[in-house]
Chain A
Amino acid sequence: MNPGGDPASVADPAHDALLAARLFSLAPLSFGAIVLRGVTPARDALVSAIGDALPCRRLPGHVDDERLLGGIDIAASLAAGKPIATTGILAEAAGGVLIVPMAERLDESVAGRLAQALDDCQVALVLLDDSREVEDAPPASLRERAAFQCDLTGSREWGDVAIVAAGDLSMVAGLEDNALKALAGTASALGVASLRPLLFAGEAARAHAVLNQRDVAERGDLEAAAKLVLAPLATQLPPAEPEPPEDQPPPPPDPSDTPSDSEDKDRDQTLEDLMVEAVTASIPADLLAQLVKGNAPKRGGAGSGQKRKSGLRGKPLGARPGMPRGGARLALIDTLRAAVPWQSVRRRESGSDAPIIVRKDDLRVRRFEEKAARVTIFAVDASGSAAAARLAEAKGAVELMLAQAYVTRSEVALIAFRGNTAEMLLPPTRSLTRARRALAELPGGGGTPLAMGLNAAREAADAVAARGRTPSLVVLTDGRANIDADGQPSRKQAGEDAEAAAKAIARAGLDALVVDISARPGREGPELAAAMAARYLALPRADAKALHKAISAVDAAKVTA
């Protein structure tokens, strides 16, 4: 199968995914994991095909450490009067495949366990990623250990597929030096820095050769490997015009002209270029768009942003009856206290002379009050009117807030609106490095799509709240909207839309603060704040430190209120 030449493979991502799944099935433990993104019939067909070919288990949604690793089943042990051990899912699935549904919602602690199991070649994973946004991807620790990442969201295929896992990698010799060089060169051209994908690509090329009943990996195998393993991870586009090394003539551009057994050096160069070409064709279109804008998604960057507090920590609240499962810890003292009054009755009943007889309904579990992490979302008006006035000051204030977030370990997100767009420059993060970069790159100019900015901020806040954290909103604007919610320049419509968006924020009950950054604060700012049920602050005609002080004061007031 020639991935570059087959028009169907370009047309539907399911074809690539099927090939990836076939390679994966040949040596699941060597490839670690395969990520299948998008809820589509093609994915269901693939998963059931993998299930037919390999021993599979499904990971339950809310699995805890005990279920994952095994341990003592307390309820069963109490009933039986002797310790009853349960086998963990990881042990049960050992050597086989574990299917992880809704991998994007996977708890980080579980992901950590699974990553360790992958490192020890204990199991292989099929990660089903149902996320809609790229930011919601499965935990980075697992994505990093997955050889294949297939995006099936655009797939329109329906048919059943079959995977036959026949043969194994040892049937194919190790890759030759020039093949390794070609893969390594392709990886650098695509900006894939990590070494793991590179190693996976080598194995994938061999697996592809096995599929095609060759005992040495050929160019087609390398191309397929580069396309399936390296392309989805690309963080940069290969240089459009590959610069020829000074001492070599540029290789002929037509692949058919190059005999495979020509001079070695020449061939390497060609091979690498061809692979880069094959790969470029399969790089997702939105990546191209983002690359043009100069902010490629930081794969793995979302790691800390998704961190969710587990219900295991925080201030203790006392115990309540319940089973110690799902991560809830047994409150021993309370359990014993609950059991003590019944001891004489139970002893008479059972005739046992055990020192203490505990029953299932005595069990108490701990409860903790967790403090949700705060995420401050900055919506910055970078329009021409604001930019001319005091954008620099606003930037300074945001920078200072970042520095403060660094100390309190809260997270920040940054949305900028200007011209006819509002965009999330920085998804919630604790990384100062990234925040600082996003801010420095923030350009100014264009109209003021205030409604868009407010809507984007509200959506971001909803997403934050959906993950169990507390959003608060800081809108820096001059309040003079002149672009409406559809991106059309119309001052009247824009004003109405902005008011509607502000009221939606008020209805959502978000903590908000409007910082007026106009040169001479008029009535727009206070009106906007009133509609949003937000606090209002005219940016003091002073340095960023003063603004920062004002924001901190608002935060402090919130805490005491």
Chain B
Amino acid sequence: MARFPFSAIVGQDEMKQALLIAAVDPSLGGVMVFGDRGTGKSTAARALASLLPPISAVEDCRYGCEGDQGGTCPDPCQSGRVRKRPVPFVDLPLGATEDRVIGSLDLERALRSGEKAFEPGLLAKAHRGFLYIDEINLLEDHLVDLLLDVAASGENVVEREGLSVRHRAKFVLIGSGNPEEGELRPQLLDRFGLSVEVRTPQDIDTRVEIMRLVAANERDPDAFAAEWEGEDAKILRQIARGKTKLAKLETGDDVLTDAAHLCMTVGADGLRGELTLMRAARALAALKGAKAVRREHLIAVAPSALRHRLRRDVLDETGSTVRITRAVEELFG
């Protein structure tokens, strides 16, 4: 399927909002997307990556060093020249082995010349971009652990096979999966910053609209991209403005109190819920160009920030989203 413009994606508002928040504040810790196959999850993630402006990095650097960091990666990169490259989007395949993900000893060089060299893996490739994992619930636990760890720390530390290497790996982790096919352990879920639920639009008109747009895109991708360029540029400006605003944005005590109340009412485990809720609300406010973080921002991000953190009775059917909406209504009317 050809690349699809982000602004041309129909519906899926919660997912788009979460992705934009993650783009404004990548340190939030990734987005988990729950939903069936064929709901446009990967299309949206890819679209966002290709929407973002190219990054500048040291030429041919395998670790995507920024210009002023040249030579600080394990290689180290020699070229003094800085080139633009598209924002990396790494699609992690389901059966990926640990080697491929974190990197491994460069066998060829080791055998040929006895040299101990590190062959960077997908984590290095995803630096400064996106790491997308479809069906993360089917991925082996130790790999998920490792990915979340690196995503949170922004650094990949390799200590194996006589190698001792560390390199930067800052990326937005996007996982997707269908809970019908096996669930993710709660400990892992909790470490995702945001989570969203996507469903296929059920209404005929929306579905027809999607078919029409996809057909138009396949017929002439260039013309289609040109048609949506304006809208995409608008989103891009919104993200850029959000990023600059984010640093200056204050979160008032009243909003913090609201956040704490909400987390207590829904029974979210641990402090991560409050922190993520607050930071996501701040990122949303920055994205919207608001002067201060307000309650409405908090309410808008509450389901995404808390849905996956509720302690749940494994045999209880009530959806987490319902519980959050109920709590929001109770507290804030």
A residues lining the B interface (CB < 8 Å): 30, 65, 72, 74, 77-78, 81-83, 107-113, 115-116, 119, 121, 140-141, 144, 170, 174-175, 177, 180-181, 183-185, 187-188, 193-199, 202, 298, 300-301, 303-304, 307, 310, 312-313, 327, 329-330, 332-333, 335-336, 354-356, 358, 399, 402-403, 406, 409, 429-434, 436
**Choice from A181, A193, A303, A304 contacting B204 with Cβ under 8 Å:** A181
Nearest-neighbor residue (CB-CB) of A144 within chain B: B37
11 additional contacts (CB under 8 A) given A116-B91, A177-B208: A65-B97, A74-B111, A112-B95, A113-B95, A115-B134, A119-B42, A119-B91, A121-B2, A193-B202, A399-B315, A403-B315
Contact status B182-A429, CB under 8 Å: yes
Which 9 residue pairs spanning A and B have beta carbons closest together? Answer: A109-B95, A194-B38, A112-B94, A112-B93, A304-B182, A430-B182, A196-B38, A184-B207, A355-B114
**What's the tally of chain B residues with a CB closer than 8 Å to chain A?**
57
Contact status B208-A431, CB under 8 Å: no
Contact status B94-A312, CB under 8 Å: no
Within the assembled complex, what's the spacing in Å between the Cα atoms of A196 and B100?
30
Can you report 21 residue pairs joining A to B where beta carbons are below 8 Å apart?
A: A115-B134, A119-B1, A119-B91, A140-B37, A193-B199, A194-B38, A194-B39, A195-B38, A198-B210, A300-B178, A300-B180, A304-B182, A307-B138, A310-B95, A327-B97, A332-B107, A354-B112, A356-B114, A358-B111, A409-B185, A434-B180
Contact status B207-A431, CB under 8 Å: no
Contact status B314-A432, CB under 8 Å: yes
Contact status B210-A195, CB under 8 Å: yes
Nearest-neighbor residue (CB-CB) of A181 within chain B: B208
**Nearest Cβ on chain B to A412's Cβ, whole angstroms:** 12
Within the assembled complex, what's the spacing in Å between the Cα atoms of A421 and B214?
48
Q: Which residues of B contact A74 (CB under 8 A)?
A: 107-108, 111
Nearest-neighbor residue (CB-CB) of A83 within chain B: B108
Which one of B50-58, B166-174, B215-223, B240-248 is at the A interface? B215-223
Q: Which residues of A contact B38 (CB under 8 A)?
A: 144, 193-197
Q: Which residues of A contact B204 (CB under 8 A)?
A: 181, 184-185, 188
Contact status A77-B179, CB under 8 Å: no
Nearest-neighbor residue (CB-CB) of A363 within chain B: B111
Q: Which residues of B contact A140 (CB under 8 A)?
A: 37, 181
Chain B, range 113-142, C-beta contacts under 8 Å to A: 113-114, 134-135, 137-138, 140-141
Does B69 count as interface, using CB distance less than 8 angstroms?
Answer: no
Does B13 count as interface, using CB distance less than 8 angstroms?
Answer: no
Does B227 count as interface, using CB distance less than 8 angstroms?
Answer: no
Nearest-neighbor residue (CB-CB) of A339 within chain B: B111
Contact status B99-A174, CB under 8 Å: no
Q: Which residues of B contact A197 (CB under 8 A)?
A: 38
Knowing A30-B218, A83-B108, A432-B314 are in contact, say whether A109-B94 is a contact too (CB < 8 A).
yes
Nearest-neighbor residue (CB-CB) of B99 within chain A: A329
Does B322 count as interface, using CB distance less than 8 angstroms?
Answer: no
Knowing A121-B1, A193-B36, A195-B39 are in contact, say whether A77-B108 is a contact too (CB < 8 A).
yes
Chain B, range 82-110, C-beta contacts under 8 Å to A: 91, 93-100, 105, 107-108, 110
Does B264 count as interface, using CB distance less than 8 angstroms?
Answer: no
Chain B, range 182-231, C-beta contacts under 8 Å to A: 182-183, 185, 199-200, 202, 204, 207-208, 210-212, 214-216, 218-219
Contact status B178-A409, CB under 8 Å: no
Number of A-B residue pairs, CB cutoff 8 Å, is: 172
Contact status B181-A174, CB under 8 Å: no
Within the assembled complex, what's the spacing in Å between the Cα atoms of A341 and B182?
50
Q: Which residues of B contact A111 (CB under 8 A)?
A: 94-95
**Nearest Cβ on chain B to A560's Cβ, whole angstroms:** 24
Chain B, range 263-311, C-beta contacts under 8 Å to A: none
Q: Which residues of A contact B95 (CB under 8 A)?
A: 65, 107-113, 310
Knowing A300-B178, A403-B314 are in contact, say whether A313-B140 is a contact too (CB < 8 A).
yes
Q: Which residues of A contact B107 (CB under 8 A)?
A: 72, 74, 330, 332
Within the assembled complex, what's the spacing in Å between the Cα atoms of A198 and B215?
11
Contact status B37-A196, CB under 8 Å: yes
Does B161 count as interface, using CB distance less than 8 angstroms?
Answer: yes
**Nearest Cβ on chain B to A314's Cβ, whole angstroms:** 10
Within the assembled complex, what's the spacing in Å between the Cα atoms of A433 and B137?
14
Contact status A113-B93, CB under 8 Å: yes
- B30-47 toward A: CB 8 Å interface, digit per residue (1/0)? 000000111110100000
Within the assembled complex, what's the spacing in Å between the Cα atoms of A560 and B314?
28
Q: Which residues of B contact A333 (CB under 8 A)?
A: 161-162
Knowing A116-B91, A141-B135 are in contact, say whether A199-B182 is a contact too (CB < 8 A).
no
